[in-house]
Structure 1
């Protein structure tokens, strides 16, 4: 029977047999997506790049120009020859609903042509230029930036004057500002009044090549100027930042805090300076809801990590909803108190050791045919996860301690999704993602359970079926 001819009544049958031994759940979910979610296919063309030969590239847009109306974001990610670049510009000109344009390479780009295209795109809201410092365009041709809501720039002594000019035109509309700055110097002074003029900014991200701020507070001292600031992302640099005095800044409206770690921490004094920096910023935000720490490697379990979370919980435990700390591998005494420290936690991202992960999942599945021993850390970790009643997203970074990354099977993820916290919908281990969604229309006839691999259209999520209840009512 053709796939399109399958009746919708087959969905309950598929759901009933997802847990049977030998059933390839991924293929079953792919079948459901292919048959019952065909209406989302145009959304696969949400973005295009100039890397020809790959799916969703301008080469395919040339063959199927009718898909151009679905394109919302365009990325220049590759250095191509003049002929290929001309084809790219031709395809971009067809994308009349373009909302975002990004440059991610160091090749000089055809400024007049690109500007003319962007001028004719009234829906443009985001401009990102992550390339070499020199941007050879005339400041008089920047009228296309009027109305932008999000800008992402690599700022250097060559481009800071451009940004200063743009800030005047973006003062009333810009809501998100991401700046990556070169080595600080006297050239950065024009940036200060430019940032002060962006009074409506809600999301601010500033990273440096080295220092996070100067002795006088630098960029962070401007945070109090943004009365509507909701998201703040800054960079911590050590040991340079150690010489600066940690100042409690006034950030009354900040709810989401992200700290990017830059340089190598020495063995002494360990990670305490990083924790102190995060806690200092957190203490300046009375309504903090989210804390994220990004780092390239995992921090080994340490008493300082426990004290850091304890201090964070003492100040913001009742308001924290998102805790993204994949660099921290928690000890048993920390897991034991996580649910009491952060009772309203909805999203958690942490690191776990391979032995702890394997045995804790055995505890979760409660398989009678398997006999395993559980230490306090493994048991308390899963018990703590079960007690997080509001948890909707769980991300586990499996540490590669034995030379190989342990496999996190679909059955284990399904056990977390089906038997764990009632609101849990997303489980991630390293690069493997599993998403369980029960999506209903107004008459509660449609359902979806599968792997979230593509950008899906927004859909209202309602309750999931009770025990013994069919997914389709």
Structure 2
């Protein structure tokens, strides 16, 4: 009996699902009956369309419906499907087959559409055809990405869907669709919401709509006013993940209620042309997370008035609240000194990943001293705008020291344009003796040499 056949069948899929490359799953499905049984459901769990265009040649379209129609027994494994209006443009003959295959996905959970849905467009007609079928399937997630927005007919058709767990609507133009008239029907089920066009929507309307969704656990908003975010958090007690933008300190003093939400993941995106920078941003962030809860913090802040720095006071204030909870800190577009990084590693002992943009440091900088107290840190990235080739020897020495110091679990370090991965490997000497050695592999991420 082979080793694979001896494994419990319920264990093998748990191992194979860690394979990120579908080609590896395809290979596993062809190894044996046991592997085929375990790998096939994973291979067909998510289906999408691949369109390749070559200059001067016709577009090549690879659509999974062709395989499903030939082997309908695989349809029961499908959980997520992605379709695009480009199929109708390049291969309209595939549309009938894709609709027929969709009817066969009796266990379908999520559907993603990319393409035009403007009124009168061919994309609108295609999407409406998919919606007619999706109403009969156990779909719980709808993701829609379109440049020109959703037509009135599409929007009306979507209102027939109830019991959804996730809705994501991303568009660049057209009417903002913020679930008006639909949120009341989704209030008992919706837990994940993404709205990519809230700009221009009055805060009062946005707040009213989201008030119908008390079960939300994850929320992503683009274009929502900063003041609205503060009030929204006061009536979403289950919200733990927020991805939003900051547009300035509009009416910050108006909302004094303590947020009901206890955020674990917070992503803030902002940019400014104000010479005074982002002075009110730090106060706003602290008001979003007033209680110990935050595990992951990501800041994407850009300024045309020069490089922005994260104030030391902000780090100290955050530590008074989230000292024991914060595990992931990312601020790649905002400057931090190495002294601030050392402060961060000291203040947050649970920190596991740290990625930030640091001020250029001269050769010989003792990087290992910066993370000396970060005993749980596993991944570290220092982005620097300046780098010199002659510093590589000193850096590799610091990298080894950081990884091998006592109590260190750090195994991935990026400094400038270089990335280092440390691992213990077994090597065999010429006399046949085996020994364990710590090996560091390095690579260049991008060319930023001066």
What interval of TM-score do these two structures reach, taking the shorter chain for normalisation? 0.5 to 0.7
**Could you state the TM-score of these two structures normalised by the residue count of structure 2?**
0.67
Pick closer, same or farther for the CA change 1:60–1:400 going to 2, 3 Å: farther
Residue aligning to 1:279: 286
Residue aligning to 1:230: 240
Instruction: Pick from 117, 122, 127 the counterpart of residue 142 of structure 2.
Output: 127
1:165-202 CA deviation, whole Å, 9 max, x = no partner?
A: 2212111111112222343146x754433211111112
Pick closer, same or farther for the CA change 1:400–1:332 going to 2, 3 Å: closer
Pick closer, same or farther for the CA change 1:212–1:146 going to 2, 3 Å: same
1:413-466 CA deviation, whole Å, 9 max, x = no partner?
A: 9998787866557767889897989xxxxxxxxxxxxxxxxxxxxxxxxxxxxx
Pick closer, same or farther for the CA change 1:141–1:300 going to 2, 3 Å: closer
Q: Secondary structure at the match of 2:86?
A: coil
Residue aligning to 1:346: 352
Pick closer, same or farther for the CA change 1:245–1:54 going to 2, 3 Å: same
Say if 1:104 and 1:130, in contact at 8 Å, map to a contact too.
Answer: yes
Q: Distance in 2 between matches of 1:391 and 1:54?
A: 44
2:179 aligned with 1:169: no
Residue aligning to 2:374: 388
2:95 aligned with 1:85: yes
Structure 1 residues 411-420 or 66-75, which shifts more? 411-420
Highest RCO, 1 vs 2 (Cα 8 Å, sep ≥ 6): 1
Residue aligning to 2:325: 319
Q: Distance in 1 between matches of 2:305 and 2:322?
A: 23
Residue aligning to 2:440: none
Q: Secondary structure at the match of 2:167?
A: strand
Pick closer, same or farther for the CA change 1:423–1:274 going to 2, 3 Å: same
Q: Distance in 2 between matches of 1:256 and 1:129?
A: 26
2:269 aligned with 1:261: yes
Structure 1 residues 297-306 or 76-85, which shifts more? 297-306
Say if 1:345 and 1:390, in contact at 8 Å, map to a contact too.
Answer: yes
Q: Distance in 2 between matches of 1:425 and 1:185?
A: 46
Pick closer, same or farther for the CA change 1:200–1:101 going to 2, 3 Å: same
**Could you state the TM-score of these two structures normalised by the residue count of structure 1?**
0.64
Residue aligning to 1:375: 365
Residue aligning to 2:83: 76
2:152 aligned with 1:146: no
Residue aligning to 2:13: none
How far does residue 148 in structure 1 lie from its aligned partner after superposition?
0.9
Q: Distance in 2 between matches of 1:173 and 1:229?
A: 14
How far does residue 303 in structure 1 lie from its aligned partner after superposition?
5.8
How far does residue 154 in structure 1 lie from its aligned partner after superposition?
4.0
Instruction: Pick from 205, 215, 220 the counterpart of residue 200 of structure 1.
Output: 215
Q: Distance in 2 between matches of 1:78 and 1:415?
A: 53
How far does residue 272 in structure 1 lie from its aligned partner after superposition?
3.0
Q: Secondary structure at the match of 2:234?
A: helix
Q: Distance in 2 between matches of 1:190 and 1:181?
A: 14
Residue aligning to 1:289: 295
Q: Secondary structure at the match of 2:101?
A: helix
Q: Distance in 2 between matches of 1:138 and 1:435?
A: 52
Residue aligning to 1:13: none
Instruction: Pick from 100, 104, 114 the counterpart of residue 94 of structure 1.
Output: 104
Say if 2:128 and 2:154, in contact at 8 Å, map to a contact too.
Answer: no
Unaligned runs of 5+ in 1: 9-29, 357-372, 438-466
1:114-169 CA deviation, whole Å, 9 max, x = no partner?
A: 123212221x22112222323343666446622211111248884648x2222121
Say if 1:352 and 1:396, in contact at 8 Å, map to a contact too.
Answer: no
Say if 2:245 and 2:270, in contact at 8 Å, map to a contact too.
Answer: yes
Pick closer, same or farther for the CA change 1:339–1:415 going to 2, 3 Å: closer
How far does residue 88 in structure 1 lie from its aligned partner after superposition?
3.1
1:225-268 CA deviation, whole Å, 9 max, x = no partner?
A: 1122222222112xxx24543555522432224243243444x2
Pick closer, same or farther for the CA change 1:413–1:68 going to 2, 3 Å: farther
2:323 aligned with 1:334: no
Q: Distance in 1 between matches of 2:238 and 2:292?
A: 14
Pick closer, same or farther for the CA change 1:351–1:88 going to 2, 3 Å: farther
1:266-305 CA deviation, whole Å, 9 max, x = no partner?
A: 4x213433333323323x3443333221347999886644
* More strand, by proportion: 2
Pick closer, same or farther for the CA change 1:323–1:139 going to 2, 3 Å: closer
Aligned residue pair count = 379
Unaligned runs of 5+ in 2: 7-23, 52-59, 118-122, 425-434, 438-450
Q: Secondary structure at the match of 1:147?
A: coil
Q: Distance in 1 between matches of 2:76 and 2:402?
A: 39
